[in-house]
Amino acid sequence: MGTPPFQMKPLEQYLNDHLSGSAGALSLLKALAASDPQDSAFYLVLREGIAANRQALLNIMWELGCRRVHSREVLGKAVSKAGQFRLHWHGLSPGKLGLLEALEVLELGIHGQLMLWSVLREEAASRGADTGQDFEELTASAEIQRAQVEKRRMAAAGKAFAAGRRA
């Protein structure tokens, strides 16, 4: 294996990994909106919120002097598409196991976002950087997102398992 073209600092790698995850989440939300007409509006609004959080992350990266590595985002999208193939196999519509699993993936991503904001709050403070971001607001937004996804996840579990009991 060759040497990477440049060495990323740990913070830079961490932030690019989160950026990559957000690219995957946006792709998954687009697929969910297309697969679940009843909840399509919810997925599109959640997608807008995640896109806004992604922009906040990009702004923070710039303020902290971290490079954006586009190849990691491409990889994140590719991994998301591969995962979506499996989820589509199980079905993304209500009552299908794939919807439950997709919502779990989203909830895990949102939990990671919450951890990201707390890390960045501390890192920015230790560097004396003014990122222009309100970390309390970002955290509150992610908590609301997580609660909304959790509500749908539990409903999806009930429907998916009920369908299995009837079969």
CA-based torsion, 34, 45, 102, 97: positive or negative: negative
Structure token digits, residue 20: 């990559």
Domains of the chain: 10-166 (1.20.1260)
Within the chain, which residues score under 70 in pLDDT? 1-6, 8, 71-92, 163-167
44 touches 97 (CB < 8 A): no
The vertex-19 CA angle with 37 and 126, nearest 5°, equals: 135
pTM of the model: 0.85
Residue type, 87: L
Rounded CA gap, 92 and 101, in Å? 9
Res 79: pLDDT: 63
The separation between the first and the last C-alpha atoms of the chain, rounded to the nearest angstrom, is: 50
Res 3: pLDDT: 45
Res 81: pLDDT: 62
Structure token digits, residue 109: 């991503």
